[in-house]
Chains A and B, each alone.
Chain A
Amino acid sequence: MAANANLVVYRELANKRAFWLIFFLCGLFVAGGFLAHLTMEHHGHVITGMDNRIVWGLPHVFAVFLIVAASGALNVASTASVFGKSIYKPLAPLSGLLSLALLTGGLTVLMLDLGRSDRIIVAATEYNFKSIFAWNVFLYTGFFAIVGAYLWTMMERRMNAFTKPLGVAAFIWRLVLTTGTGSIFGFLIAREAYQSALLAPMFISLSLSYGSAIYLLTLSAASAIDGRPLGEAIVRRLKNLLATFVAAALYFVAVFHLTNLYFTRNHGVENFILLDGGIFTGLFWLGQVGIGSVLPLILLLAPGVSRYRILIACSAIVIGGFCQMYVTIIGGQAWPLDLFPGFLASSSFFDGEIHGYAPSIWEALLGLGGVALAGAIVIVALKLLRFLPERMDDATLDPSHAKANAK
């Protein structure tokens, strides 16, 4: 094993043209996001599609998706250091990096959407410890610290001995973090769509699949950009892992909705999401279930391995993930609160009405800016630091495995 570790040589990205192209593209969208933020701050949220009924909109769809995916992006690192699968070890630094980048992107979007982002220092100095939101601030900061340290122990040879304990810490922390993110919705006692103890475990299972899909996409892209060979066996393993996660997530989504159907008081909102919620029903069945779960499962599990097919599956998972967040966040708000059970209500403030939402260009730009920020962080880090092994073929990653195969 020790000899194996010595064989792996890490290198910065060599392909300058690709670097500048990606960096420029990401930079463009980051600038777009920042422009959107300034415009929203100047005019106020009137220029967005959000209002007093759809309080959280597209920026939150992007932000929560990125934050949830950030936790899942750590899968490969966790598998290497917590579960001792040494074949993943050389690929672990990228996993940590991606995780930090996604979290940064997500949190930036959340921050820049605040009504008073100029008071962000207040959020860092005034805490209400009863608020799950305030706890999340700690969870996110802690995550940065732990994963940062974890990365360092991976990349600094002398610190390698600490990789395992820090890996365990990071693993536990990310589970808590995703639970915290899921609980943001779980604490909304009056919103029928979120009244389920299953929300947190569902978010964890979703995070595993989103994060792994984004990781595989990033890894493939990095290997393609620099022409670094990526082994057949490792891709097959990652793909099988991903399929397991997608299946688990689908299972949780099914149980979530089935248990909701069990409680009569939730029939209204379930009926809305699953049957006659228009765009939300469409996004749920076609987006989240069809494109996001069933299609990738078929692509990943059908006999034979084709890189192309795996990449389509990963992209489908990401698209499905956005649909899921849209249905969960916006669909959950579109369904009206029931203040007076047994009565039909109407008012100037839209009581009893299903609320519509049409995102503006500003919200989309802000959200995309967050994605681009994550991309920019990854590409810059890959260019400046040695995150990725020079060779990622099976013989380099796992010599014993390669030999066994050769026999």
Chain B
Amino acid sequence: MSEVTTSRRAFIGISATAAAATAGFVALAPGVKLMDLAQAHADSKGASSKVRWGMLIDTTKCATGCSDCVSACARENAIEPGSGRPAQSSQWIRKIELKEKKGGHRELSLPMLCQHCANPPCVDVCPTGASFQRADGIVLVDRHICIGCRYCVMACPYQARSFVHEPLHNQNPEVPRGQGCVESCTLCVHRVDKGESPACVESCTHQAMLFGDLNNPQSEIAQRVATVASSQIRADLRLDPGVRYQGI
């Protein structure tokens, strides 16, 4: 709808200011003084390219059958099972149970979520630029310009994306979600921007999930990644996921 209006108003010409939408914020919103703008910037940090948010998941601690992270995600982001088939509901995070085919028949359990790749294929294929990556590495869908083509769902090697198959009503104010757009784990961006960690990480009673800034050598996650053996899933695809796994 949004772009419709811009072109519509420009076309009708009732609002000369809107016609100059691309000219910049001052022209766009005459009510806002430059002073306000400067202040708004002064006290807001925003996403910084110095940071790379990531997660380290210790599969040796993650318990088979435990799905605390999945429920925490559902609670935080108001994700409910839909009215259709299970495959039509959204799943931002899921538990995968693994059994080695040969050898010791080792069993593993781990959470799978958007891997927040440094080179995300979903962003590459998105025709409108709705799939994008924030400066701090979080991969998101801008649902204001997502047209629901699902090319990103096809492209994601981790099957981490879901398409909203029906109208929704009980969204959380901080997590808008709606029909016809693709969505996926946001790394709880609304919490991260407030200095908190993602809901799944907070909920894990087994301390199997660690969240932090991979770029900051002082952070616990950076130090753990530097000292223990960790791996990226489908590393052969060279997508450089920000979610790392230990013990696979």
Contact with A along B174-187 (1 / 0, CB 8 A): 00000111100000
Q: Is A55's beta carbon under 8 Å from chain B?
A: yes
Q: Is the CB of A190 within 8 A of B125?
A: no
Closest CB of chain B to A197's CB: distance in Å?
A: 17
Asked if B101 is at the interface of the complex by the 8 Å CB criterion, the answer is yes
B155 within 8 Å of A (CB atoms): yes
Q: Is B23 interfacial (CB 8 A cutoff)? A: no
User: What residue of chain A has the Cβ atom nearest to residue B182's Cβ?
Assistant: A115
In this complex, how many residues of chain B approach chain A with their Cβ under 8 Å: the count is 65
Is the CB–CB distance between B124 and A337 below 8 Å? no
Contacts of A348 in B (CB 8 A): 70, 86, 91, 94-95
Q: Tell me whether B40 is interfacial, beta carbon within 8 Å.
A: no
Q: How far is the CA of A187 from the CA of B123 in the complex (A)?
A: 12
- A 201-212 binary contact with B (CB < 8 Å = 1; else 0): 000000000000
B4 within 8 A of A: yes
Check A46–B3 contact: CB distance below 8 A. no
Chain A CB within 8 A of B151 CB? yes
Is the beta-carbon distance between B101 and A51 smaller than 8 angstroms? no
Minimum Cβ distance to chain B for residue A16 (Å)? 41
Docked Cα-Cα span, A384 to B83, in Å, equals 49
Question: Cβ of A53: which chain B residues have Cβ within 8 Å of it?
Answer: 87, 159
Cα–Cα, bound, A121→B166 (Å):
22
B181 A115 Cβ-Cβ under 8 A:
yes
* Segment of A128-136, A228-236, A286-294 engaged in the interface with chain B: A128-136
Give the chain A neighbours of B157 by CB distance below 8 A.
189-190, 337, 339
Task: Contact check, B147 vs A120: say whether CB atoms are below 8 A apart.
Answer: yes
Contact B87 A114 (CB under 8 A): no
A147 to B163: give the CA distance in the assembly, Å.
Answer: 36
A117 to chain B, nearest CB (A): 8
The answer to whether residues A115 and B179 also contact, given A44-B166, A343-B99, A344-B98 and a CB cut-off of 8 A, is yes
Q: Which of B82, B124, B147, B166 contacts A116 (CB 8 A)?
A: B147
B121 within 8 A of A: yes
Pick the interface stretch among A101-109, A219-227, A349-357, A371-379.
A349-357
**Is A25 at the interface (CB under 8 A from chain B)?**
no
User: Can you name the residue of chain B whose Cβ is closest to the Cβ of A130?
Assistant: B124
State in angstroms the CA–CA spacing of A124 and B85 once bound together: 33
A126 contact set on B, CB distance < 8 A: 3, 128-130, 145
The residue of chain A having its C-beta at the shortest distance from the C-beta of B239 within the complex is A189
> When the two chains form their complex, are residues A133 and B156 in contact, meaning their CB atoms are under 8 A apart?
no
- CA–CA, A47 and B128, complex, Å: 26
Residue contact A347 to B147, C-beta cutoff 8 Å: no
CA separation between A130 and B152, bound complex, in Å?
A: 13
- By the criterion CB–CB under 8 Å, are B112 and A339 in contact? yes
Annotate A180-216 by CB proximity to B: 1 below 8 A, 0 otherwise.
0000100111110000000000000000000000000
Determine whether the beta carbon of A128 is less than 8 Å from that of B128.
yes
Question: Which residue of the partner chain, among A115, A133, A337, contacts B148 with CB atoms under 8 Å?
Answer: A115
CB-based contact A339/B96 at 8 Å: yes
Taking CB atoms, residues of chain A closer than 8 Å to B112 are 339, 347, 349, 351
Interface positions of A from 89 to 124, Cβ below 8 Å from B = 114-123
Interface residues of B in 1-27 (CB under 8 A from A): 1-4, 7
The residue on B at minimum CB distance from A48 is: B165
A115 to chain B, nearest CB (A): 2
Distance (Å) between the CB of B150 and the closest chain A CB? 5
- Report B116-138 residues with CB < 8 Å from chain A CB: 121, 123-130
Residue B162 CB within 8 A of the other chain: yes
CB pair B125 A55 closer than 8 Å: no
| A128 interface neighbour in B87, B97, B127, B248, Cβ under 8 Å | B127
Q: Chain A residues with Cβ under 8 A from B147's Cβ?
A: 114-117, 119-120, 122-123
Chain B residues with CB under 8 Å of chain A are: 1-4, 7, 70, 82-91, 94-102, 108, 112, 121, 123-130, 145-151, 153-159, 161-167, 179-182, 233-234, 237, 248
- The 17 listed contacts between A and B (C-beta, < 8 Å) are A45-B180, A46-B84, A53-B159, A115-B181, A117-B148, A119-B145, A122-B145, A126-B145, A127-B128, A130-B125, A134-B127, A189-B157, A333-B154, A337-B158, A339-B234, A343-B108, A344-B98
Contact surface of A with B, Cβ cutoff 8 Å:
41, 43-47, 51-56, 114-123, 125-128, 130-134, 137, 184, 187-191, 333, 337, 339-340, 342-351, 355
